[in-house]
Amino acid sequence: MPSSRLALLLMGLVGLALGGCMQATLAPSSDASFTPRDRQLLAHPPYARADIPESYRRHIVDYSRREAPGTILVDTESRFLYYVLPAGKAIRYGVAVGEEAMAFSGVATVGKMAEWPDWIPTPEIQARLGPYPPRIAGGPANPLGARALYLYEGNKDTLYRIHGTNQPEYIGQAISSGCIRMTNEDVIDLFDRVRQGATVVVLPPGRSAWNGPIAGPHG
């Protein structure tokens, strides 16, 4: 087989492997949506740049579930977050999720959105991992990273977040205290697409996104 045809065949197989039964296309890792402050704070971050496996980098994939465009779905088991697009597509991001005993699951909404948010450790986190200062100012050393989406059930803050990270090496793992972490570059990309009030579906550990929909809006 000519080398060019072999290369094309291998590229096709890699695309299938990345998406399971879905077609996957690597989305451009653009910093076009960065603000001047983003560029300044991320120019020399106080953490090592991680080599994110390609499967956990941003991809545009086929999406066969029934969630409406604009919905976020988190596949906790596979460590993927999907932002649903029109016409049966979604943007898939790699994430770090909570350890099973601390992971949020269910249907929520984006109740609040913040750029470079301050972090206020909860009493539970202070007891388990602290001591921390009562408030840590926003910035690249902050555990919430560049952006945060605050998950609400009705008018009540669940205390769970989708946010950036100062530990990108953990993307693809179940390591956090329950929140959903993304690279700062990816959370900025997601933040610019999401609207406050958007539905967020978080599947529990052990439940794949492709085992059928769960109860909830559009589910």
Neighbours of 68 (CB within 10 A): 12
> Would you please indicate which residues are annotated as catalytic (active-site) residues?
163, 179
Q: Is 153 helix (H, G, I), strand (E, B) or coil?
A: strand
Q: What is the DSSP string of 173-212?
A: SEEESS-EE--HHHHHHHHHH--TT-EEEEEPTT--GGG-
Q: Strand runs (DSSP E) across 43-184, as ranges?
A: 59-62, 72-75, 80-85, 89-94, 97-98, 106-115, 147-153, 156-163, 174-176, 180-181
C-alpha–C-alpha distance, residues 14 and 7, integer Å: 11
Q: Which tokens hold the place of 39?
A: 């560029």
Q: What is the DSSP letter of 6?
A: H
C-alpha–C-alpha distance, residues 162 and 114, integer Å: 11
Handedness of CA 57, 58, 61, 66 (dihedral sign): positive
Percent helix, strand, coil in the chain, to 5, is 25, 30, 45
